[in-house]
Homo-oligomer: A and B are copies of this chain.
Amino acid sequence: MATLGDIGVSALINILSAFAFLLAFALLRIQPINDRVYFPKWYINGGRTSPRGRGGNFVAKFVNLDFKTYLTFLNWMPQALKMSETELINHAGLDSAVFLRIYTLGLKIFVPITVLALLILIPVNVSSGTLFFLRKELVVSDIDKLSISNVRPESIRFFVHIGLEYLFTFWICFMLYKEYDTVATMRLHFLASERRRAEQFTVAVRNVPQIPGHSIADSLDHFFKTNHPDTYLCHQAVYNANKFARLVSKRDRLQNWLDYNQLKFERHPEKRPTKKIGFLGLWGERVDSIDFYKQQIKEFDKQMELERQKVLKDSKSILPVAFVSFKSRWGAAVCAQTQQSKNPTLWLTNWAPEPRDVYWRNLAIPFVSLTIRKTIISISVFALVFFYMIPIAFVQSLANLEGLERVAPFLRPVIELGFIKSFLQGFLPGLALKIFLYILPTILMIMSKIEGHIAISTLERRASAKYYYFMLVNVFLGSIVTGTAFQQLHSFLHQPPTQIPRTIGVSIPMKATFFITYIMVDGWAGIAGEILRLKPLVIFHLKNMFLVKTERDREKAMDPGSVDYPETLPSLQLYFLLGIVYAVVTPILLPFILVFFAFAYLVYRHQIINVYNPQYESGAAFWPHVHSRIIASLLISQLLLMGLLSTKKAANSTPLLVILPVLTLTFHKYCKSRFEPAFRKYPLEEAMAKDLMDRTTEPDINLKAFLADAYLHPIFRSFEEEELVEVRVDKVRVDRHQTYAENAQTRDDLSSSPPHYVHQPTSPPQHSYQPASTPQDVYHHGIAPQYEYNSSSLHYDYHYEAEPWTSGD
C-alpha cells in the first residue's frame, strides 16, 4: 500500500492540478467573451449587461486587454466573502445560503477537533510503541505510526481515545443543535418575510374520486365548499399534456435548425443554405433550408394550437389531481395538514410546491401504483447499491500494486518505476472511483422520478438520499471491506456475527491513506474543476457559434446551473463521515478535510454569488437530512471504534462506549421533535399572523385573480400570452407599484430582487425584458417560458423583443 512518499506525490499532483484549474479559471473569467459563463447570475439579476454592448475597440469585446487584471488572479476569493448572509439570501435564496452553512458547520466542527486530535493523539500514538505486534503485510504505511494502530494492545492510553470520542461526540452534537436551531429560525423568518405567493394559499389534491355523471371540477367544488365552507376559494385543474409536450420539444428542435440556417445565411449571404428532405438529410429533394423550416414551424404551430385546444377542452385529459386555493393561508394550512375523506386514499392533500418546483409529469401517476413503484425502486436501489460493488472491488484490487504484480507479473518492470508506482497508487484509485460515480446521479434521479414525487425539490432530496446510501456502502464500507477482503476474506467468512464491526473496525486505520488520496482527488482537484465550469464553457461557445442570432438567444445559451444537491449533499456528508470516523483513529486525515471544507466553501460561495441560478426555493428543506446523516456518521464512528478497540483488547472499552450511541440517538430524537416540524408543517399561528397582516395592509386585494392561473401547466402559456405581455407592460408597471409599495416598507431585507422567480438554466434575457404582470407566470424546467419577476424597478426601460420564442434543452 501507499507510503508517506506516495501521499506526497499525490498531494503534489492534486495541488498542482487544483492550481492549474484555478489559473485557467482566473484567465478565462476576465475575458469578456466568457462573461456569460462565469457571471450569469448577474445577467439574470439584471446587474450586468452584455460586454459586447459596451463601447471600446473590437478586440476588447472578446479578449481582456487590461493586463493589470492578470496579476491578481486569486482576487475572486476575498470578493466571494464580501457579501453578507442576509444579502446572500436576497441574492440567491435561502437554499443556497443554508447550503453554504453546511461548509461553515464543517469548519466549526472540525477546526477544534483537528487541533485537539493533533495535539493530544499524535503524541500519544507516536510515543506509544511500535507496530511490532502486527504481521508484516499489515504494516501498510508510515501514516499508521501516527494512528491508533501504533498503540500497544491493552494499553491504558486507549482511555485517551475513548475520552476524546466522548468529547468529540458532545462537541458535534452541540454544534449540530446550534446549527439546527439557527437554520430553523432562518427558515421561519424567511417564510414569514416572504411576500404573497401562490403556494401559500394552495394545496395539491391528489386522487380526486371520479364520480360518474359529475366532472372533476364539480366534485372538487362541491367537496371543498362543503368541508371548507369559509376558506375555499377556487381550484385549478391539471391537464394531461404529455402529447402536447412532445410537440413542443419537436418544434424547439425545428426552431434551432431554423436559427442555425439563418445564421449561416447571414454570415455567407452569397449562398442560401439548402437541405435534402429525405432520411437524415442524406437524399431526397433539395430544398431551401430556411423556407423549409419556416414552413415546418408554421405547420407545427397550427398542429400545436389544435392539440392545445383539444387538451383544454376534452374532459378526459383532466387528471384526478388539482391545485386548490383558499382565501387565507390559514385555510390552506388547515387543509394541507388534515385528512379530508373517510377513505384515506382519496382527496389526499399536501402543500402545493412552488409553481416552478412542480414536476408536472408525475401528477398523472395514479395513487394505487405509488406503493408498487416505491417497492420496486427500493429493491432496485438495494440491488444497485450492493451489486455495484463488484466493479469497485475490481478497481480496489488494481490499486493494490502488489496484487496487480501477482496477477500480471509481466507488468512489473513498468510498475516498479518509482514515479509511475507513486502515481498509480496515489492517484488512480480515487480517480477510478470518481469516474464510476459520474453516471450514477442521473440513474438515481430517474429512479426518484419513478417513485412519483410531484416536486422537483423532493425528487432531488430523494435522489440525494439514494446517493448517500450508495456512497456509504460502496465508497466508505466497500473501500474498507473489499480492500482488506483480498487479505482477510477467508477469516471473515468464518467469523460469528458480532465479529463484523471488529473486522471493519480493525481495517479502518489501514485505509486512511486511501481516503486521504480520495479527499485530494475529489475534494481538492474536483472542487477546483467545479469553478472552471469547463462543460458549460464549451457548450456556451458552441451554441454561440451555431445558434445565437439575437441577444435573447445568447441569454438562452447561457447555462447558469444550480447547486447540484443530489450529488454535492451526499459527497459533503461523506466528508463528515470520514472526518468523524478518523478523528480518533488517524487524526492526520483531518487537516485534509479542513482544507476541503475551506476551499469548497470559497468556491461554492463564489459560484452561488456569480453563477448559479436556483431552480426552486425550498426554504432549506434539506436540512433535516443533513442533520440526520451527520448523526448517522457519529453512530457509525462509535460502532467502529467499539469494534476496533475490542480487537485491541482494551477490555473495558465496549461498556464505556456503548453509552455513546444511546446518547446520540436520544439527542437525535429530541432534535427531531424539537426542530423537524418547522421543516415539514406550516404552523397555524404563523399563517394566521400573515393573514392578519395582509388583511390590514391590503384589505381589498383580488385574491382570485392573483391565484387564477398560477398553477396552469406552463406549457399552455407558450405563445399568445407572451405577445400580450408587451401590451400589459404599462398597466402592470403601475399595478405593481401600487401593490408592493407597502409591502416593501415592512420587508427591507427582501425588498430588492427576491430570488424566487428567477431560476432557469436556459433563461430569457431578463435585462432586456419586462417584468411579467402577475405571479401567474409559472416556470417549468426546460419547457416553459421564463418571466423575471423583479420587484426592483431598475430595469424597466430595457428593450423588449416581442418575438415568440420557446426554450429547449
Give residues in A with beta carbon < 8 Å to B. Answer: 188, 223, 226-228, 230, 330, 333-334, 337-342, 344-345, 347, 371-372, 374-375, 379, 493-497, 500, 662, 665-666, 669-670, 673-678, 681-686, 688
Contact = CB atoms under 8 A, between A and B. Distances in A.
Nearest to A668: B371
B338 A684 contact: yes
Contact of A685 (B227, B330, B375, B684): B227
A339 B684 contact: yes
Contacts of A681: 338-339, 344
A375 B673 CA distance: 14
13 contacts: A223-B685, A230-B230, A338-B338, A340-B684, A340-B685, A342-B685, A344-B676, A344-B677, A371-B670, A371-B673, A375-B662, A375-B665, A497-B497
Contacts of A339: 337, 677, 681-684
Given A494-B494, A497-B497, A342 B375 contact: no
B345 A662 contact: no
Contacts of A345: 673-674
Contact of A683 (B341, B493, B682): B341
Question: How many monomers of this chain does the complex have?
Answer: 2
Given A226-B685, A334-B334, A341-B683, 6 more contacts: A339-B677, A345-B673, A371-B673, A375-B665, A494-B496, A496-B496
A675 B682 CA distance: 26
- 4 closest Cβ pairs, A-B complex: A344-B677, A339-B681, A497-B497, A337-B338
Nearest to A367: B673
Contact of A379 (B500, B662, B682, B686): B662
Contacts of A673: 344-345, 371
A500 B496 CA distance: 10
B683 A342 contact: yes
A686 to B, nearest CB: 6
A73 to B, nearest CB: 47
Contacts of A684: 227-228, 338-340
Most buried by B among A226, A342, A347, A676: A342
Q: Is the interface of A mostly helix, strand, loop or mixed?
A: helix
A673 B496 CA distance: 39
B344 A675 contact: yes
Contacts of A493: 496
Nearest to A680: B339
A774 to B, nearest CB: 29
A375 B669 contact: yes
A686 B665 CA distance: 39
Contacts of A497: 496-497, 500
Contacts of A333: 338
A688 B375 contact: no
Contacts of A685: 223, 226-227, 340-342, 347
Given A375-B662, A379-B662, A669-B375, A342 B678 contact: yes
B676 A371 contact: no
A141 B495 CA distance: 33
A758 to B, nearest CB: 28
Nearest to A675: B344
A346 B685 CA distance: 11
Contacts of A341: 683, 685
A664 to B, nearest CB: 11
A318 to B, nearest CB: 22
Contacts of A342: 188, 678, 683, 685-686
A344 B496 contact: no
Given A345-B674, A372-B666, A670-B371, A683 B496 contact: no
A333 to B, nearest CB: 7
B338 A375 contact: no
B495 A688 contact: no
A531 B588 CA distance: 72
Contacts of A375: 662, 665-666, 669
Contacts of A379: 662
A38 B75 CA distance: 92
A501 to B, nearest CB: 12
A681 B223 CA distance: 19
A651 B469 CA distance: 31
Most buried by B among A665, A684, A686: A684
Contacts of A670: 371
A678 B188 contact: no
B683 A340 contact: yes
A650 to B, nearest CB: 23
B337 A337 contact: yes
Nearest to A500: B497
Contacts of A223: 685
Nearest to A674: B345
Nearest to A336: B338
Nearest to A345: B674
Contacts of A665: 375
A685 B688 CA distance: 23
A207 B251 CA distance: 60
A761 B230 CA distance: 46
Contacts of A337: 337-339
A499 to B, nearest CB: 9
A395 B665 CA distance: 36
A344 B676 CA distance: 8
A344 B185 CA distance: 12
Nearest to A192: B342
A684 to B, nearest CB: 5
A370 B226 CA distance: 39
A688 B494 contact: no
A384 B231 CA distance: 52
A772 to B, nearest CB: 32
A188 B344 CA distance: 12
A688 B226 contact: yes
Nearest to A185: B342
